[in-house]
């Protein structure tokens, strides 16, 4: 049923019309036939390397050459070449829709069909009947695309003003499609069913191997459920961030130790998505130092490895997230000027991009607020309203609501901190000073100054996930009666971790050398 | 007795967290979570009631147990707000207000903002137009507008807001006018939005006056303006006094900020922050001196000084260097090499 796409209810005119392009969903060019036949064979033979090649390279090449602005052939047309294999057809359709979303605008019907396809695919995986071994890249893309299509659907649905009667009828009829409960429960089910949390726990005790094999199963089993479950934790983090639920989002990610290498770092897209959302959630929870630290690490990583991804289909996406994270870093550092935490290479990039804006953001006048607004709006996730619209007249657009709420609350936080940069300026240059003197400098009375100083303390000390108080302050102070004593905090260098990494590396090198036979 | 209650409290918190952990995205637990929020606040009223636990639902038992306890679970409250966010027509503003009060009590943790992030502003307007009747919607909007206009005199309404006269005449607008009306509201909201940076807190657009008060209270706490906070709280007794332990929780937060900032704090500053004066303050200080190691110092000519207990924030030299410590699970990575 799904393959015979009904283009009549398309909303996008001209280029979507099948006739104008001569797109025939049933025509299968030889190159496509050969593609599916080979891909099918490699999947059956569990040849991960070849699958990865075909998935990453051949699929893109064929798309660029033959399907630049039309969909791939329908699944019904190709199924005869792959023994009508049910799971393969689900995978093919998953790619089919992903390609459609990337290159064309999906119709409502197509959005609903894609949802159905994900449901079928995940159900097959959850029932444990899949015995394939798929590349991490592909499994990540599935979770990533699933969340993306959910987000895209919510944005689309929220633009009620421009909906036709047909579309509204379809929305009402298929109200379960991309339902927020459905989306969250699928991700949650993948996490639970895969037992991934337990696997990661056991790995710490050396009872299980997961990270060491990049999630692959070399004992004849399948990696699909396990790795999908693993990436679903990142998917949940992202969905919760889109909903504005930062606390729950971070909680979903807890089983993954992001300070270490892991399966999430084996795919660049997953690595970036994880850190972007992790950093953003920490920013919104006022844990600036944590956000700065992780943004710095990933930005440095991207800076060093960018050139290797130039040919990757994700390259543009990588660059975009890179820019957004610089904007978020600029925000964090304006609120919490811990430049020492930032690597020189990252810092010089940051100065180049935002140096001038960051200077102006320190002033906390109207212009500064406009800049905070601008950077936040540019770099924040695409927030969504998850609830179904009211179908009663008058139809209203509400696609901006969620974003506006988050922006407003963020700017409100900025507003509460506006006097702190003034305090900071004086703390930098004095080691002790009396309250009276500082009050005169800041042109406030002494009582107000006391509240400002306490605000500084409160805002620079965040509560971490264990309820412990963490200092984010670059300059700290204490008050003894009416004298302020200033203390500059020096960030502690983590030599321990560095040495541990080097020990592991050295061991690896020595093992490699042992393996070389000299004769 | 005290230990008993504490035990009960922690088991209640555990049980509700367990329920949320097992059903993070299950709409069916909504009534149970609402009960939980209600029970934790209404304990004094319902304290003597006997709850027959005919229902085997774990949370009902939880509620039964927590009748006489003060529990707080951020996860449970966020879960409830999340369900409201998914199905705004089930939202109870009363319960949301209670959750917000509880979140204020959790300061210095950022719980209050975490809750606000989840409360959509246009819920009532878009999705729950009071039985879908147009006149209800109109009256709601006018109400919302009235809230919005508090303290907005100098901003003025945009020109197209001529519809305000409509209300006085009592006309129900036709749909065409109504659409314009909605657009105007949207424009108006946008204007407020853009004037945000110059706004005072009192101009926050919110759907309920109660929420507005709570946001003002939160603002005073976030900016350590305790005098204003206690004044405002006194004006809104009906909101905050519904929650047992409110005053005490805020005092604990004030003391937290004071101990972060001061080695020695003047008595007057302390008194203002925790809103205790005179003889009660003497009693309080005495209690703290015997139990928490506070030292009272005779001021030289001026007021009394109180030496607060030392911590790494008011005595930076106490700060432990974290550089020397490495978590055990990082070391486990080199175990195979060492062996």
| Sheet containing A475-480: order of strands | A432-434, A483-488, A475-480, B262-266, B305-307, B295-297
For residue A365, the tally of other CB atoms under 10 A from its CB is: 11
Share of chain A above pLDDT 90, in %: 27
What does the pLDDT look like over A260-289, one tens digit per residue?
888 888 888 899 999 999 999 999 999 998
pLDDT at A435: 84
Question: From the centroid of its chain, how far is CA B210?
Answer: 12
Q: How distant is the Cα of B153 from the closest Cα of chain A, in angstroms?
A: 21
Q: How distant is the Cα of A201 from the closest Cα of chain B, in angstroms?
A: 11
State the number of CA atoms in the 13 A half-sphere of A509 facing the CB.
Answer: 6
Residues of B in contact with A463 (CB under 8 A): 108-110
Q: Which residues pair with B262 in a beta bridge?
A: A479
Q: Testing the interface with B: which of A365, A496, A499, A503 to mutate, by most B Cβ within 10 A?
A: A496
A483 φψ region: left (φ > 0), alpha (ψ -120 to 50), beta (else): beta
Torsion of CA A315, A318, A320, A321, to 10 degrees: 170
Q: Is the alpha carbon torsion for A174, A176, A179, A183 positive or negative? A: negative
ipTM score assigned to the predicted complex: 0.84
What does the pLDDT look like over A360-396, one tens digit per residue?
888 878 888 899 999 999 999 999 988 888 777 677 7
pLDDT at B70: 55
Pick from A165-174, A336-345, B14-23, B216-225 the range whose average pLDDT is largest. Answer: B216-225
Confidence of residue A490 (pLDDT cuts 50, 70, 90): low
What does the pLDDT look like over A59-78, one tens digit per residue?
888 888 888 888 888 888 88
What does the pLDDT look like over B31-60, one tens digit per residue?
888 888 877 655 433 322 222 222 323 332
A511 vs A508: CA distance, rounded Å: 5
The per-residue pLDDT of chain B, averaged, comes to 66
pLDDT at B221: 92
Query: Is A375 in a helix, a strand, or coil?
Result: helix
Q: Within the 384-443 window of chain A, which residues sit less than 8 Å (CB to CB) from chain B? A: 385-387, 389-390, 392-394, 396, 398, 401-402, 404-406, 408-409, 411-413, 415-416
Q: Within the 224-263 window of chain A, which residues sit less than 8 Å (CB to CB) from chain B? A: 243-248, 251, 257, 260
DSSP conformational letter for A337: -
Q: Testing the interface with A: which of B197, B204, B214 to mutate, by most A Cβ within 10 A?
A: B197
pLDDT at B58: 33
- Report whether B95 contacts B38 (CB < 8 A): yes
What does the pLDDT look like over B65-92, one tens digit per residue?
333 345 678 888 898 899 888 888 888 8
pLDDT at A460: 87
- Out of B219, B266, B322, name the one closest to residue A481 (CB): B266
The per-residue pLDDT of chain A, averaged, comes to 85
From the list B201, B167, B162, B203, the residue with the least C-alpha distance to B185 is: B162
Classify residue A116 by burial, with Cβ atoms within 10 Å: 0-12, 13-18, 19+: middle
End-to-end CA distance of chain A: 64
Q: Which residues pair with A478 in a beta bridge?
A: A485
Interchain contact, A396 vs B182, CB within 8 Å: yes
- Report whether A193 contacts A126 (CB < 8 A): yes
Q: Minimal Cα distance from B81: which residue of A?
A: A245
Query: Is A478 in a helix, a strand, or coil?
Result: strand
Q: How distant is the Cα of B49 from the closest Cα of chain A, in angstroms?
A: 34
Interchain contact, B24 vs A248, CB within 8 Å: yes
B184 vs B177: CA distance, rounded Å: 10
Classify residue A229 by burial, with Cβ atoms within 10 Å: 0-12, 13-18, 19+: buried
Residues of A in contact with B129 (CB under 8 A): 390, 392
What does the pLDDT look like over A86-125, one tens digit per residue?
888 899 999 999 999 988 889 888 999 999 999 999 999 9
- Report whether B227 contacts A445 (CB < 8 A): no
Q: How distant is the Cα of A6 from the closest Cα of chain B, in angstroms?
A: 31
DSSP conformational letter for A475: E
Torsion of CA B4, B9, B14, B15, to 10 degrees: 90
Residues of A in contact with B314 (CB under 8 A): 478
User: What phi and psi values does residue A469 have, to the nearest 5 degrees?
Assistant: -85, 125
Structure tokens at A121: 């695919």
Structure tokens at B94: 């009363």
């Amino acid at each position: 049923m799904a393959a015979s796409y009904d283009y009549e209810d398309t909303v996008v005119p001209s280029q979507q019309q099948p006739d104008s392009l001569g797109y025939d969903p049933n025509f299968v060019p030889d190159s496509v036939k050969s593609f599916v036949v080979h891909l099918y064979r490699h999947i059956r033979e569990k040849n991960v390397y070849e699958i990865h090649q075909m998935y990453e390279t051949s699929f893109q090449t064929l798309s660029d050459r033959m399907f630049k602005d039309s969909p791939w052939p329908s699944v019904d047309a190709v199924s005869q070449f792959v023994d009508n294999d049910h799971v393969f057809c689900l995978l093919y359709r998953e790619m089919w829709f992903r390609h459609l979303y990337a290159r064309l605008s999906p119709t409502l019907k197509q959005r609903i069909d894609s949802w159905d396809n994900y449901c079928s695919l995940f159900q097959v995986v959850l029932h444990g009947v899949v015995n394939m071994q798929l590349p991490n890249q592909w499994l990540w893309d599935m979770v990533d695309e699933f969340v993306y299509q959910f987000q895209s659907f919510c944005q689309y649905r929220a633009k009620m003003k421009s909906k036709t009667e047909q579309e509204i009828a379809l929305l009402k009829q298929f109200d379960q499609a991309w339902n927020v409960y459905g989306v969250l429960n699928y991700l949650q089910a993948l996490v639970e069913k895969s037992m991934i949390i337990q696997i990661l726990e056991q790995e710490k005790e050396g009872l299980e191997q997961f990270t060491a094999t990049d999630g692959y199963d070399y004992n004849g089993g399948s990696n699909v459920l396990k790795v999908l479950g693993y990436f679903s934790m990142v998917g949940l983090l992202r969905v919760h961030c889109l909903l504005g639920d930062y606390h729950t989002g971070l909680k979903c990610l807890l089983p993954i130790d992001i300070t270490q290498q892991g399966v999430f770092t084996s795919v660049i897209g997953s690595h970036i998505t994880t850190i972007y959302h992790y950093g953003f959630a920490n920013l919104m929870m006022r844990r600036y130092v944590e956000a700065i630290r992780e943004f710095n690490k990933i930005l440095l990583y991207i800076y060093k490895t960018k050139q290797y991804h130039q040919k990757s289909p994700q390259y543009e996406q990588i660059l975009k997230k890179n820019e957004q994270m610089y904007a978020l870093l600029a925000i964090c550092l304006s609120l919490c000027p811990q430049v020492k935490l930032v690597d020189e290479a990252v810092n010089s990039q940051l100065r180049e991009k935002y140096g001038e804006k960051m200077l102006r953001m320190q002033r906390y006048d109207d212009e500064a607020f406009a800049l905070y607004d601008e950077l936040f709006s540019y770099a924040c996730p695409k927030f969504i309203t998850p609830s179904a619209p009211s179908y009663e007249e008058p139809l209203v657009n509400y696609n901006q609501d969620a974003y506006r709420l988050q922006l407003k609350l963020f700017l409100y936080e900025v507003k509460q901190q506006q006097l702190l940069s003034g305090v900071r300026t004086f703390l930098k240059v004095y080691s002790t000073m009396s309250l009276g003197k500082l009050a005169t400098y800041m042109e406030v009375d002494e009582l107000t100054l006391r509240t400002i100083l306490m605000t500084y303390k409160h805002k620079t000390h965040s509560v971490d996930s264990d309820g412990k108080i963490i200092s984010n302050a670059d300059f700290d102070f204490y008050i003894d009666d009416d004298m302020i004593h200033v203390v500059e905090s020096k960030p502690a260098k983590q030599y321990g971790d560095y040495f541990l990494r080097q020990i592991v590396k050295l061991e690896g090198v020595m093992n490699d050398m042992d393996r070389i036979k000299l004769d | 007795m005290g230990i008993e209650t504490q035990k009960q409290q922690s088991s209640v918190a555990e049980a509700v967290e367990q329920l949320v952990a097992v059903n993070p995205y299950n709409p069916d637990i909504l009534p149970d979570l609402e009960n939980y929020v209600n029970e934790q606040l209404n304990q004094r009223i319902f304290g003597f009631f006997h709850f027959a636990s005919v229902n085997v639902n774990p949370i009902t038992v939880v509620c039964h147990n927590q009748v006489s306890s003060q529990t707080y679970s951020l996860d449970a409250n966020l879960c409830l707000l999340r369900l409201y966010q998914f199905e705004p027509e089930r939202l109870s503003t009363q319960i949301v207000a209670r959750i917000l009060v509880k979140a204020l009590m959790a300061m210095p943790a950022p719980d209050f903002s975490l809750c606000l992030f989840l409360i959509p502003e246009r819920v009532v307007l878009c999705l729950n137009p009071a039985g879908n009747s147009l006149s209800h919607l109109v009256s709601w909007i006018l109400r919302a507008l009235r809230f919005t206009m508090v303290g907005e005199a100098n901003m003025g309404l945009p020109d197209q807001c001529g519809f305000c006269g409509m209300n006085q005449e009592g006309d129900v607008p036709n749909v065409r006018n109504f659409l314009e009306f909605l657009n105007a509201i949207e424009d108006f909201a946008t204007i407020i939005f853009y004037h945000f940076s110059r706004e005072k807190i009192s101009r926050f657009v919110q759907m309920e006056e109660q929420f507005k008060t709570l946001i003002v209270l939160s603002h005073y706490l976030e900016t350590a303006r305790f005098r204003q906070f206690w004044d405002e709280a006194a004006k809104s007794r009906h909101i905050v006094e519904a929650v047992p332990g409110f005053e005490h929780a805020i005092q604990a937060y004030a003391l937290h900020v004071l101990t972060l900032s001061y080695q020695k704090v003047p008595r007057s500053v302390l008194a203002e922050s925790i809103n205790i004066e005179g003889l009660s303050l003497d009693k309080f200080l005495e209690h703290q001196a015997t139990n928490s190691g506070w030292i009272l110092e005779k001021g030289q000519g001026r007021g009394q000084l109180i030496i607060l207990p030392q911590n790494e924030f008011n005595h930076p030299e106490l700060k432990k260097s974290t550089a020397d410590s490495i978590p055990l699970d990082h070391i486990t990575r080199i175990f195979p090499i060492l062996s």
